[in-house]
A and B are shown apart, each in its own frame.
Chain A
Amino acid sequence: MKSLGNLWLQMPPYVHSTAITLLLTVVLILSVAYLTLWERKVIGWMQMRIGPNRVRIFGFLPGMGQPFADVIKLLIKEIVIPARANKILFRLAPAITLIPAFAAWAVVPIAPGYAIANVDAGLLYVLSLTSMGVYGVILAGWASNSKYAFLGAMRSAAQMVAYEIAMGFALVGVLMAAGSLNLGTIVAQQHGGPLAWNWFWLLPLLVVYFISGVAETNRAPFDVAEGESEIVAGFHVEYSGMAFALFFLAEYANMILIAGLTAVFFFGGWLSPLDGFPWWLGGTSLLAIAGTHWLLVKMFVLLFLFLWFRATFPRYRYDQIMRLGWKFLIPATLVWIGVEALLSWYQVGPWKH
């Protein structure tokens, strides 16, 4: 065991980062698998149903085998390519949607002082990668040679471009609070308990960011890109088998990414909520230790919000989505950036020196 540890330390840095990247990818894929199960369970409970409870693992844990059963089912299904579809782009599109959702994790600080790539302009990197995901959707819609798929793609392209701006502006506020574009520094700057986290001073921006995040991932109530009642399944209507599963995987991976980024930007990432408390409130206890587990807890709560929204809200009408994005969210962020500038000028809150 000790020699294994030594071997690990002697390895060059690129071996470390490759190993952690692979581990993170596997963890993400498994999280996606169980997030789908969790979603079906949660929505089931909210609708007074039980949810999936048939497929077991080795005869135990009812329902826990469901994701694997789904994956195997999708794997052995035929991938039908529609007549006169663009074959290359049709196959490429699912991969293009999936890759940014995973690649963005490179700069996310997953443990105190650690990210796979400690990029100085990490925030911009995340923004530019999340903006690439829309290509997969557009290309899928166009390459399918189907009217419904194309309509879905057009809707989602317009929606994603609109909400990206609000998202970017919300992050300008985070950048102003942290004074850095490095995600690790953004987390480290929020130390000192829950009230020192960015959500308190940047509450409007948090709301805007999370709403934009939901819209960006095409989740309910913003899922007009796949509005079943109007355009069947939207951009992925022609996809079957594993190609469809990749879109599914991308959607949930994006949800996890948005939850992770919201936790990092507004809820102190891996910082403990007991950080900075006196000892009689647990400030020196085991719970006050910062670490990956706190990031996971925060992400879990935020992911639950995604599922809650889906079970609660009816779908927005398309023109209402555009109105909300352009006429409400963007002006709201601009106003709060102005407020933040004043706070910073008069050295209130996190800008106290």
Chain B
Amino acid sequence: MLPLILFYIFATILVMAAVAVIVSRNPVYSALSLVLCFVTSAAIWLLIEAEFLAIVLVLVYVGAVMVLFLFVVMMIDINLEELRAGFTRFAWLGWIMAGAIVLEIAGVVLTKRLGIDVTRGGAPLPANYSNTQELGALLYSKYAYPFEIAAMVLLVAIIAAIALTLRHRPNLKVQDVGRQVAARASERVRLVKMDSEHRE
């Protein structure tokens, strides 16, 4: 009973936060609502005993991705009027996508109703079952190649992102850190010894 109550609480918060992402007038509020979305979905994943995924969702998306997102949103001056100009023009696209998602969810629910349930459900796993260990064992044995390929794709994406934003500006003044580190006091400071002055 308690998991069910918790699920409905988290689900309500999740839906409300998701709506807030779209309708907030302030882009910072939108980004923060998205953070709330991630945290509540992590809580829902915890309820279905996917603790590894839940914690990693918070670690990666809340702890790193959204921080940088917020960073950018706060730095740039977003013109909301311009952003909202296309709202009605592209609304039909949004409705189609929303409809598709609703249909997909309905499909999942219907298969469960018809008794052709493919998801594991019901019986909770024993307390000593380690989600993380199972995932690791599968990823590094059975799915080693797909895992490596995914890692390579990400690496290529990182390099591409850096290459796209790299600019070589002429006459740029940069510090040569190697030279700074190699600097010694004897090269910079000249100690002068002289007698003190005497009044004539």
Contacts and interface: CB of A to CB of B under 8 A. Distances in A.
Interface of A: 89, 119-121, 124-125, 127-128, 131-132, 134-135, 138-139, 142, 150, 154, 157-158, 160-161, 164, 181, 319-320, 323
A142 B28 contact: yes
Given A131-B62, A181-B132, A320-B177, A124 B56 contact: yes
Contacts of A120: 51, 130-132
Interface in B64-86: 64, 67-68, 70-71, 74-75
B55 A154 contact: no
B28 A128 contact: no
B70 A128 contact: no
Contacts of B37: none
A219 to B, nearest CB: 20
A92 to B, nearest CB: 9
Given A121-B131, A157-B67, A131 B52 contact: no
8 contacts: A124-B55, A132-B62, A134-B63, A135-B35, A139-B32, A142-B28, A142-B74, A323-B177
Contacts of A154: 71, 74-75
Lowest 10 A-B CB distances belong to which pairs? A131-B63, A128-B59, A128-B58, A124-B55, A142-B74, A121-B132, A128-B55, A120-B130, A157-B71, A121-B55
A161 B67 contact: yes
B175 interface: yes
A132 B74 contact: no
Contacts of B75: 154
B64 to A, nearest CB: 6
Contacts of B71: 138, 154, 157-158
A125 B55 contact: yes
A288 B56 CA distance: 38
Identify the interface centre among B52, B63, B64, B177: most chain A CB within 10 Å of its CB.
B63
B50 to A, nearest CB: 11
B132 A124 contact: yes
B74 A121 contact: no
Interface residues of B, number: 23
Contact of A135 (B67, B131, B177): B67
Given A120-B51, A120-B131, A128-B63, 6 more contacts: A119-B51, A124-B55, A127-B59, A128-B62, A138-B67, A142-B28
B63 to A, nearest CB: 3
B62 A319 contact: no
Contacts of A319: 175, 177
A120 to B, nearest CB: 5
Interface string B27-68: 010001001000000000000000110011011001110011
Nearest to A182: B130
A207 to B, nearest CB: 18
Contact of A124 (B32, B35, B52): B52
Nearest to B74: A142
Contact of B64 (A139, A161, A320, A323): A161
Contacts of A157: 67-68, 70-71
A151 to B, nearest CB: 11
Contacts of B177: 319-320, 323
Nearest to B175: A319
Interface in B117-176: 130-132, 175
Given A161-B68, A323-B177, A121 B59 contact: no
Nearest to B55: A124
Identify the interface centre among A124, A128, A161, A181: most chain B CB within 10 Å of its CB.
A128
A339 B74 CA distance: 41
